[in-house]
Amino acid sequence: MPLLLRQTVGLCAVLGLCALLAVPGVAPGLSADGRLSLAVFALATAAWIATPADDAYIALGAGLALTVTGVISSETLFATLGDETVWLLICAFVLAAAVTRTGLAGRAAVFLVGGARTVRQLTHLTTAGLVVTAFAVPATSGRAALALPVFLALAAALRERRRLVVMLALLFPTVILLSAVATLIGAGAHLITVGVLWEQTGDQLSFVQWLVLGLPLAVVSSHLAAELVLLTTTRRADRKGPVTITAAQIQEHSETAVEGPFTPAESRCLLLLATVVLLWCSEPLHGVSPAVVALIGALVATSPALGTVRFKDGLKTVPWPLLLFMAATMAMGVALSDSGAADWLVGWIPLGASTPPWLFLAGVVVVSTAAHLALQSRSARSSGLVPLVVAAAIGAGVNPVAAALASTAAAGFCHTLPSSAKPVALFADMPGTPTYTPRDLLRLSAFLAPLTAALVLAFALVVWPLLGVPVLLDPNERPQP
């Protein structure tokens, strides 16, 4: 069946479902607001999957429809844009613009990969460096853009060893996507998850809590994925030869110096970044909100005397469509929760106290891992899945925090096709530089998908309970929206 025909049939089916929901009595136990919420949610999801319209445009349209029909108030819709997590992301992007302007990435590349002497060392040192960037640059697309010049420098130094260049081209987006779970600002989907948890359960995940839970998973999954990329894209003979990456080779692809004394701007920016990250990580000690810390850092980074980027130039790097998308999908989550639509929908799933927690979490992880085949936007996947996962977890007696984290972490796998994620698409098309093919992606995904799914499930069942997130929901605790 042609793609256009499949999309048309699917859209007609969704419209038919929405029309059916509009008939009173069709959905017993579901209020009028619940029927409207479910219809809008279904239409938005279908539009995200089957139409080329911008994700933010669809989300705003859905939020507006819910407001006009009275399911949520206008205050609820507009208040989401002023949410603390939205401001955290805005300020983090301004800070990232200041870091990018100084050229510290080139110095970091020399520091890390300059000491590599074997292919495996180069692979894992590069992986470690990419994991660290999750603390400096929010969103995976921003990290991919920052890392691209470093990759081009490595590709030029290894141009005689084509397989290694292809391996690195696949390594960069793979690690960028999997390591995003390390921090709260690693992806917009994380902020959506935090917002949904707060609205539906009253549980608040701080920057430090996310760091404690996400960083170990990011490190383990990234290095295991790096080893898998190395083994699936190179041969033993490719891995035997020595590797030498010099500072001069990296300098050819950097507009700023990668060696020598730090400039005053670089020193100030490095000190500012270190201070901001330290304050984020020590939030329990001083009690200052991460968003307030980020705002202070952004103002210092753009100040005329101490800054490295102009204020208006820093704001230009902020992905405003993503922020609008996040705000609108938060409003959709509120509508699903408050109207009872989420509870009604998951009520059709045969869950109960007798459902083993591992089986429930395994189902969440599998669905979330495969969701990128239908929804290419990571944020859209979380906005659609997490409200339902949280409601289903409460019904199954599973800790909703563990279920939401597992879903969000599993959704970080999106490597099957070049169009599955922006970093994958970026590194798949580089004129003049050898890169991977769709076949390479499929081969890697065949091994990486089950590996990452099993790893997330293992963390949810074994590691996170040791870090303060139990698998089971405490029967004495009832969610308070």
Average pLDDT over residues 277-306: 83
Q: Is residue 61 part of a domain?
A: no
Distance CA 61, CA 416 (A): 30
pLDDT band for 406, please (50, 70, 90 cuts): very high
Task: Let me know if residue 182 belongs to a domain.
Answer: yes
- Select from 283, 340, 290 the least CA-distant residue to 32: 340
- pLDDT score recorded for residue 232: 86
Q: Is the pLDDT of residue 274 over 70?
A: yes
Looking at the chain, the number of H-run helices and the number of E-run strands are: 25, 0
Whether residue 459 has pLDDT greater than 90: yes
Q: Answer yes or no: is 6 within a domain.
A: no
Judged against a pLDDT cut of 50, whether residue 1 lies above it is answered with no
The answer to whether residue 28 is domain-embedded is: no
User: Which residues have CB under 8 Å from 101's CB, separation 6+?
Assistant: 308, 309
Q: Is the pLDDT of residue 13 over 70?
A: no
Which range of residues forms the domain containing residue 363? 102-261+339-480
Q: How confident is the model at residue 455 (pLDDT cuts 50, 70, 90)?
A: very high
Percent of the chain with pLDDT over 90: 9
Question: What is the pLDDT at residue 480?
Answer: 46
Question: Rounded to whole angstroms, how far apart are CA atoms 181 and 246?
Answer: 31
Residue 472 has φ and ψ, to the nearest 5°, of -90, 150
Give the residue-averaged pLDDT of 456-471: 91
Residues 6 or more apart whose Cβ sits within 8 Å of residue 24: 32
Q: Which residues have a Cβ under 8 Å from the Cβ of 292 and sit 6 or more positions away?
A: none
Per-residue pLDDT at 221: 93
Q: Taking 70 as the threshold, does the pLDDT of residue 403 lie above it?
A: yes
Helix (H, G, I), strand (E, B) or coil at 400: helix
Average pLDDT, the chain: 79
Report pLDDT for 253.
Answer: 63
Give the pLDDT score at 479.
47
For residue 25, is it within any domain? no
CA distance 262 to 232: 39
pTM reported for the whole predicted model: 0.80
- More confident site: 256 or 312: 312
Domain count within the chain: 1
Please tell me the distance from the alpha carbon of residue 110 to that of residue 248, in angstroms, as a whole number: 9
283 inside domain: no
Beta carbons of 120 and 242 less than 8 angstroms apart: no
Domain assignment present for 16: no
Any bridge partners for residue 468, and if so which? none
Asked whether residue 67 is assigned to any structural domain, the reply reads: no
User: Distance (Å, rounded) from C-alpha 5 to C-alpha 133?
Assistant: 43
Among positive and negative, which fits the CA dihedral 432, 435, 439, 441?
negative
pLDDT at 481: 43
Least confident window among 100-109, 148-157, 289-298: 100-109
Q: What is the mean pLDDT of residues 191-209?
A: 82
Q: Residue 29's pLDDT is what?
A: 64
Q: How much is the average pLDDT of 197-205? A: 80
